[in-house]
Amino acid sequence: MINVENKHRILHIVSAMKRGGAETLLMNVHRNLNTSKIQFDYVSHSSETCDYDDEISSLGGRIYRVPSLGQSGPLSYINHLKKIMSSQDYDAVHAHTDYQSGIVTLAAKMAGIQKRVCHSHSNNWGRGDGFKEKMILKTLRAIIKYSATDYCACSIDAARFLFGEVYTNKQRVRLLKNGIDINQFTQYTDTDYCVRQELGIAIGSKIIGHIGRFSESKNHQFLLRILKQMLEDGKDVVAVLVGDGPLMQLIEEESTRMGVYNQIRFLGVRSDIPRLMRAFDVFVFPSLFEGFGIVMLEAQGSGTPCIAADTVPKTTDLDLGLISFVSLNDPIEKWTKEIDKAFLKERPDDHQITSHFVRSGFDIKQNIQDWMVLYGLG
């Protein structure tokens, strides 16, 4: 296939371009590309228009829609991918589908793509750790190692999960930092008052914020327990929950049953994350597991104190004095005490925030070169 555009194109395979962590990372990279020289295209498993689709099109990227592996079966899925991969002169195929990534890179190998990348974004797959599950993961790892040319992960834990101890210890896995555009958070001028007025939250109330998909791993049930305890302790608090997902209705129903629904704002998916994050008095992140947790960077970029489960990688802490890690096995009272302490923390100024991001290597503008090297374009 001749590249008539005279630009490099990379094909990313994702579940759907919604506002999840991996997808937000991809958009952070995409926005900072020199699109006259390099362009990202995407394979999405969603038949519906997703949160980032319009922006991708505006940046010149293409979106191909195919049924997922589970919907179509391995042979049909591979044939769909091979057809797309052969339609353009792709420099690389980059799979973000975790344990299914090997099927993607197998299709890319069959299509003659020379650079085939598997990227681990999680340190758990939610399917248990019994003998059968371990054998399935072992098989999927074997497919990845056979078909991929490059391996990368957002953290050491994510690398070990998908590629195993041997590949990780031998440094076969490249760690790609989940950078953000820090300017989006430090240069936001809207006021806390505007957000409170929009959401009907009094000036004196404290806002406990959370941003994440309503799925089992994000542990929204635990958030409800925290809120209930704080209300029973006489605290004037309101929880603001941003995101959607399969468990959203269940959490709404549970909050009603627990008597805390009126103290929650369910906002759904939002595009104004910097604005909301700066209005939170504290960001609470009690995930059961996380490959990294890019939203933790967004909170710190906003100067917002964070209380996170100790399941979240410690590499998310940029040493701004904003983060406390607490065990999910600790009593709820331990969490509420840490939240009370967080309310009193002094927020760093924008200059401090920016310098810590740059020093830690989490400014997306620093990360672009790492991605180009990964694709052999650096």
Nearest CA-CA partner of 152 in 137, 171, 136: 171
Containing 352, the helix (H) or strand (E) segment is helix 350-360
C-alpha to C-alpha distance for 253 and 34, rounded to whole angstroms: 46
φ, ψ of residue 66 to 5 degrees: the values are -135, 150
CA Rg, the chain, in Å? 21
Burial code of 239-254, b = ≥16 C-beta within 10 A, e = fewer?
A: bbbbbbbebbeebbee
Secondary structure (H, E, C), 243-303 = CCCCCHHHHHHHHHHHCCHHHEEEEECCCCHHHHHHHCCEEEECCCCCCCCHHHHHHHHCC
Handedness of CA 355, 318, 302, 322 (dihedral sign): negative
C-alpha to C-alpha distance for 176 and 186, rounded to whole angstroms: 23
C-alpha to C-alpha distance for 99 and 105, rounded to whole angstroms: 11
C-alpha to C-alpha distance for 334 and 337, rounded to whole angstroms: 5
**CA 353 → CA 349, 356, 360, distances in Å?**
6, 5, 11
Under the phi-then-psi rule, with left for phi > 0, alpha for psi from -120 to 50, and beta for the rest, what region is 231? alpha
> For residue 111, how far is the Cα from the chain centroid?
29
Residue 186 has a pLDDT of 85
C-alpha to C-alpha distance for 125 and 108, rounded to whole angstroms: 24
φ, ψ of residue 308 to 5 degrees: the values are -125, 150
Specify the 3-state DSSP secondary structure of 157: helix
φ, ψ of residue 35 to 5 degrees: the values are -70, -5
Residue 2 has a pLDDT of 47
Residue 124 has a pLDDT of 81
Residue 193 has a pLDDT of 87
Burial of residue 86 (number of CB atoms within 10 Å: 0-12, 13-18, 19+): middle
C-alpha to C-alpha distance for 177 and 294, rounded to whole angstroms: 10
C-alpha to C-alpha distance for 59 and 35, rounded to whole angstroms: 7
Residue 240 has a pLDDT of 98
Nearest CA-CA partner of 291 in 133, 117, 53, 98: 98
> For residue 105, how far is the Cα from the chain centroid?
22
Specify the 3-state DSSP secondary structure of 142: helix
Specify the 3-state DSSP secondary structure of 4: coil
Residue 86 has a pLDDT of 95
Using an 8 Å Cβ cutoff, are 281 and 208 in contact?
yes
Burial of residue 49 (number of CB atoms within 10 Å: 0-12, 13-18, 19+): middle
φ, ψ of residue 212 to 5 degrees: the values are 170, 160
Nearest CA-CA partner of 119 in 29, 244, 234: 29
The residue ranges of the chain whose pLDDT is under 70 are: 1-5, 126-128, 188-190
Residue 378 has a pLDDT of 77
Using an 8 Å Cβ cutoff, are 91 and 376 in contact?
yes
C-alpha to C-alpha distance for 100 and 106, rounded to whole angstroms: 10
**pTM recorded for the entire structure:** 0.88
